[in-house]
Structure 1
Amino acid sequence: MKYKYNISICMMVKNEEKNLERCLDSLKVFLDDPLVELIIIDTGSTDKTVDIAKKYTSKLYFHEWNNNFSEMRNISISYATGKWLFLIDGDECLEDPIKTFKLLIENDLENYNTIQFNIKSYLNMSEDSNYSVLPQPRVFRNDGTFRYEGTVHNQPIFKAPILDTDVIVEHYGYISTDNELMERKFQRTATILKEELKKNPNNPYYQYQLAASYSMYGDSKKTLEEIRKAYKIIEKSSKKEKRLHIYMYGTYVRTAFTNNEFNETISICKEGIELQPEHLDLYFVLANAFLVTGERTKAIQNFNKYIDLLNSYDNLPISKDSSIIMYNLDSQSIYNAYFNVASYYYDNKEFKKAYKYLKKLENKSDKNNLMCKILIKLELYDELKLYYNELNDKYLIRNFTISIENEIKKLDKKIIDEIADLFKDNDDEYGLFSKIKLEVDNKDILIKEFLSKYDLNDLPIFYGEIFKEIRDDRIYMISFKKVNNHVLRQYVGLLINEKDSIMKEYLFNFLISNKDKIRDNDYQSNRVYCAIANIILIKSMEGAKQQEKILEEKYVQLFDLYLEKGFNCLEYKYDIRKIRMIYSTLDITEDKFLMIMYLVKESIDNENIELAIKYMREALKEYPHMAKALQEYQKQIFKDIKI
């Protein structure tokens, strides 16, 4: 056969305007070579596919779609005059075009008839760590005999020897955000498959492909129904025959797992592993099924087997098997396996083993949290700091500091200071925080520096510990005015936890000493006052309830002040004349409570006791945290009236 070109790139497309340009751009290094031709068959596009194709080739041909994939493929290669046929689809592209070009142009390929690439199919557009991998022959010697067979999911009829490569073709066809396009693709493929199954209902491959079509379509229940039918066809076959259909086991177990059929998942995984002991997907799914059913030790055994196969995968025969799609070679699956194994060893106090597995993973919050625990358990404090310094993401850094602070609470003060000493020279918020912990003489200066440099609304709550060192009311009021109510309450809750009665007493006295210093129209000061009073009251009532005591008189007085300052806030934020109409629709629980209490006061002032009682009951229902304070309050205003 006389060849005009070295390579003929053959494509069959229809309505691929969203993908085609990306595909053809990845082929540019080929298209710039005069010995490469690009042949595109369009089977009836109604979008801009044809316009895009014309920019890249003059060899654009039109053939009406006839529901036969192989026939269309064969038409495309019939135009080819190249020595080699390179088949690629419009929703694919080369991951490394130059590497692929050098492989096909510069290598001596005379000893081969077929070249196999790896098809990397992304399952989620927003997360490139989730994909499947399928070895697939894509380049064939154009000897006049090569062809495709099969109406749908066409199969290339090729010759050995085969050259296995690590070339990756990225496939985006499974994640189209064009629902109408995906619907058309599904209906087209499923319709053809159903017609083929009418002719040959015991064809396990077509039955499997129908299940795969439903899977791509996102219908997991229908997928399970169809894959069970495929399995039923081969269920009574010999092991030798079943091995020929090992391709269906991965889809079966994943779908059974998704449908919460865990016993079925485990059974089919075990059978598949017996047929093909290198099938790492089966070990991965089996491990997760054992996790869900509470058999953690078995889960870890299978995760370890998965990891062993993963580390030698490129050298395993199964890695070249073009019939088996692997879904668990992706980084998300690898992370899942290693993290579960590391967590298991940590829980079993085998910290060195846990560390070994965890080190292999990319940085994520859950990994960093566990790594922090392990490094502290192993007393590797220098490495703890080194690990922290290598983090370059604000979110991960802050989560790591939260982990450090949570862990060191369990340690002696000497070790806490030792760790703080390691971090104190860091030029960041945690470095300055660590310095404040250790400083004796200049603590106030450092705290003021911290408060001026960093936004308290944007920091993890543990940084509120610095307020325990402040004894200047002005710093409290100035600092607290800068934070929103939610954050302020968290800081106050941190400061007056049950182990620190000193801070609770200090903040109580802070409120009492400032009760007459705040103007009624100073919204921010009233807001801060209410937020602090609210937490102190709730904490005090929790303690009184646990000890079955009445609320101390001083907290009853504080409740009166809380209402007074709360009413000031209401008058600033709302039209106080209309609160009777709006309070019931509020989503802000505390504002709603304060409005009801304002209506209680108003009803008392108007001597409408019956209405006041109604509102008091409503307040108790709305804000049960204040139950004890409300009981004491009602004694003051209702005397012996029971509400």
Structure 2
Amino acid sequence: MLLSIAMIVKNEEKNIERCLKALRQLDGKLSYEIVVVDTGSNDATVDIVKKYTDRVYEHKWNNDFADMRNKSIRYCRGKWILVLDADEVLENPDEVVKFFDKDGESSKCNCAVIQFKNVLSANEDNVLLGSLIRLFKNKDEFCYQGRVHEQPKIISPIGYTNIALRHYGYSRESYELMEYKYERNLKLLLKDLEEGKDPIYTYFQLAQTYAMANKHNEGLDAIKNAYRIAKTKDISRYLYILHFYARDMLGRGNFEKVIELSEEALKYTDEHLDFYYLALRSYKSLNKFEKEEEYIKRYLKLYKKIKDGYIVKDISVNCFSFANYDDVLVYGVMNAYNQKKYEKIVEAFNEITKEADKEKLIEVFFYALMKMNRFDDIKKHFKKKKITDSDITNILNVLNRVCVEEVDRKSSEIAENMMGIDKKIDLYIENRYLSNQVSNLDEVNFDGFTEWKAEIAKDAYCKNETFIERLKCICGSDLKAYVSSMTENFKCLENLCRYSKDNFLTTDLDELNILTNIEEVLLTSKSIEKDEYNELTQRALINKINYIKCIYNLAVINEKNAKSILCAHDYVVYDIFEAIKIYGDDKLKYIRKLKAALNISPEYSKMINFFLKKVDDTEISDDMRNEKQKLLNITEEYIGNNQIANAQEIINELMKIFKFDVDILSYNGVLNYIIQNYDESLINLGMADILLSGNFDTVYNIACVMEASGRKNNAVSYYEKAYNLCLDDNMKKGIIDVINALKEV
């Protein structure tokens, strides 16, 4: 028997089969046996093991790892022993076979180092590299020592191999296993410490155990104790102490201490990748870019050496930064950028292999090329790929920056160098840098907001108000982003306010959708004059309530569920509307409700305060309601006698008291219609309509105002609604005549 594979296990049903199945790759390549000592499993571990070997032995756990290892070794019959744990998987069986070749390493040594890849997460590439002596000649004097993290008794000479084990025990996904190991190891280590067993190594293992449980302060105390004792001896023998301590300091942002510890270690070794990585990360964080560059170079040189098969002789220090190679390449690009080494940026960028990393750094790459006038290289970059909106964003971001920075060259000259890559880029450059009239926007798909599209949209809308039609089919968040950008331009802001006014009370759902999104943004503008803003606030509320009524079933929305159903803006509007509905019955409740809304949504304070202004806490009495009806009758008489000014005076006084009364709003709408104040008329009639839906008089009056103001399509829609609500056949006939006449026009 050439090889015995020795294991001690307990409750490893989640891991053991993965481990044993991998060993099957040795079948037919060398003679081996599997020896398993079970220390008290109460799950399916033993049953699984017996599918792979009959050499299973049971021994009660005695809190001593070394003793259990030694028991498993005594059962081994092979000339060599490979020690495995259940959460480890043999990666390259051919390397084991190679070790035992006629002229292999086994003929030259008594024990051998194998490589470890400790998997740290669900991402199999996220590994901590290490080396351990796990292969031994089966000699009588060979044994293990130590209760926790047991160590083999080394019998020289030592061989070095590329045999690799993938270890899953550190994976954070194995939470229950981690918890069990922590409790078990902590107890045993504290006992070792109490007995004074190798305090440096015990404190180190204690620090690792605390770190595994995220008890970082306790871990720091332990590694400090290990470091303090090690400093009194030969620190070069304890590089693993410096390594752990430096990693802890990096996590805490103590970069000066990381550098001190890393450079102390590098006095004694040049084969540990992590010390270069720890130093470069720290110099990077301290903006010491020349020193960072030095350590990046040293890291990359050693990384390639290890990747090519170099075996690190010092097995005491694990290596976590081998998996950070791609990060270091990224750091190299940014280091060159920070030092304005443009050629170096391009060189370092081209070393990167991960497309995701290249995408993150593409603007830095373009920036370096533009600064060196290598515009053709950017064009070549896009000959091999289809250009996307994201690519255009990257190019134009860099172009705009370079144009701002350059003093000796005109922006137009720089920008012209970038023409010819894509028609959309050409269009942007012509618009912004060459002051050319942009007429053909068909090349631009405005889905997906970008700043460069926003600039084109802003310019187009300034010159042609019908451009807004291009934005009707895009999603609400993109639309609001475009509108927000447009409000920065006074001409665009003027056009948007006019659009809000001209399309108020539209019955077309698509139109209503774009309108409410536009008005939501306009309500946040600080550049709209007060009276116009007040009108906008009322229009926005009425339009939004009409939109909500179209989209939602208001019968199932109430104060309890509204916040979870509606978006923030819609919820505020709904809350205001609910307050408006109770104004006539309980003015104090109206005030309290709006003040509560103000506390919950202070970002909408301007809108909410509009509905709070000029409201006193005087309750409306029954006598006041009776008097209101008398005054409305008088108003009716005044209107019939064409005494419009007198009627308006009464309504204005009633509005101060009753504010949101449907009848008063309707009269106010009619009076403003008579005096051809159509905007004010529609606001009053629109408010009356949302408070009392399905009222024929209100809907008919809106239709009349729409017709008078030249909004014929909207007039037809409201006449059709009025027709459906009308109960008078003669009146219905008259409505049909009006509709037909409008359609003919």
Q: CA deviation at 1:600?
A: 5.8
2:118 to 111, 117, 121: 121
Written as runs of structure 1 = structure 2, the 5 A alignment for 1:246-261 is 246-261=239-254
1:480 to 472, 478, 482: 472
Counterparts in 2 of 1:626 and 1:188: CA distance versus 1, 3 Å: closer
The alignment status of 1:342 with 2:333, answered yes or no, reads yes
Tell me whether 559-568 or 91-100 shows the greater mean CA deviation.
91-100
The alignment status of 1:564 with 2:524, answered yes or no, reads no
1:24 to 20, 24, 29: 20
SS at match of 2:12: coil
Structure with more relative contact order (C-alpha pairs < 8 Å, separation 6 or more): 1
Counterparts in 2 of 1:22 and 1:475: CA distance versus 1, 3 Å: farther
Cα shift readout 1:51-71 (whole Å, capped 9, x = no counterpart): 221222222222222222223
Written as runs of structure 1 = structure 2, the 5 A alignment for 1:313-324 is 313=306, 319-324=312-317
Residue of structure 2 in register with 1:377 after alignment: 368
How many pairs align?
Answer: 598
* Matched residue type, 1:121: N
Tell me the TM-score normalised to structure 1 length: 0.79
2:212 to 191, 194, 216: 216
Written as runs of structure 1 = structure 2, the 5 A alignment for 1:268-417 is 268-292=261-285, 298-313=291-306, 319-330=312-323, 333-363=324-354, 367-379=358-370, 380-381=374-375, 383-384=377-378, 402-410=393-401, 411=403, 412=411
* Matched residue type, 2:570: D
Residues 289 and 339, structure 2, Cα contact 8 Å, conserved in 1: no
* Matched residue type, 1:348: Q
Matched residues in 1 for 2:245 and 2:614: separation?
Answer: 71
The alignment status of 1:534 with 2:520, answered yes or no, reads yes
Counterparts in 2 of 1:142 and 1:467: CA distance versus 1, 3 Å: same
Tell me the TM-score normalised to structure 2 length: 0.69
Residues 37 and 59, structure 2, Cα contact 8 Å, conserved in 1: yes
Matched residues in 1 for 2:102 and 2:511: separation?
Answer: 76
Q: CA deviation at 1:250?
A: 0.8
Residues 43 and 63, structure 1, Cα contact 8 Å, conserved in 2: yes
1:515 to 504, 512, 515: 504
Matched residues in 2 for 1:204 and 1:254: separation?
Answer: 18
Q: CA deviation at 1:388?
A: 6.1
Matched residues in 1 for 2:49 and 2:391: separation?
Answer: 50
Question: Could you list the runs of 5+ residues in structure 1 that have no partner in the other structure?
Answer: 425-432, 545-549
The alignment status of 1:589 with 2:568, answered yes or no, reads yes
The alignment status of 1:63 with 2:59, answered yes or no, reads yes
* Matched residue type, 1:108: G
The alignment status of 1:10 with 2:3, answered yes or no, reads no
* Matched residue type, 2:567: I
Matched residues in 1 for 2:602 and 2:255: separation?
Answer: 43
For the aligned residue pairs, the C-alpha RMSD in angstroms reads 4.1
User: Which of the two has higher C-alpha Rg?
Assistant: 2
Q: CA deviation at 1:625?
A: 5.6
Q: CA deviation at 1:120?
A: 1.0
* Matched residue type, 2:483: V
Question: Could you list the runs of 5+ residues in structure 2 that have no partner in the other structure?
Answer: 404-410, 431-436, 617-651, 657-745
Counterparts in 2 of 1:403 and 1:278: CA distance versus 1, 3 Å: same
SS at match of 1:598: helix
SS at match of 1:224: helix
Counterparts in 2 of 1:565 and 1:101: CA distance versus 1, 3 Å: farther
Cα shift readout 1:395-435 (whole Å, capped 9, x = no counterpart): xx7755543343234455676576463346xxxxxxxx568
Matched residues in 2 for 1:556 and 1:461: separation?
Answer: 30
Matched residues in 1 for 2:68 and 2:100: separation?
Answer: 25
Residues 335 and 361, structure 1, Cα contact 8 Å, conserved in 2: yes
* Matched residue type, 2:178: M
Matched residues in 2 for 1:202 and 1:79: separation?
Answer: 29
Q: CA deviation at 1:121?
A: 0.6
Q: CA deviation at 1:309?
A: 3.8
Residues 7 and 85, structure 1, Cα contact 8 Å, conserved in 2: yes
Tell me whether 557-566 or 611-620 shows the greater mean CA deviation.
611-620
SS at match of 1:538: coil
2:176 to 166, 176, 180: 180
Q: CA deviation at 1:568?
A: 0.8
Q: CA deviation at 1:362?
A: 3.9
* Matched residue type, 1:533: E
Matched residues in 1 for 2:67 and 2:385: separation?
Answer: 54
Percent of aligned positions with the same letter in both sequences?
Answer: 25
Q: CA deviation at 1:24?
A: 1.9
The alignment status of 1:81 with 2:46, answered yes or no, reads no
SS at match of 1:349: coil
Q: CA deviation at 1:244?
A: 1.3
Counterparts in 2 of 1:48 and 1:525: CA distance versus 1, 3 Å: farther
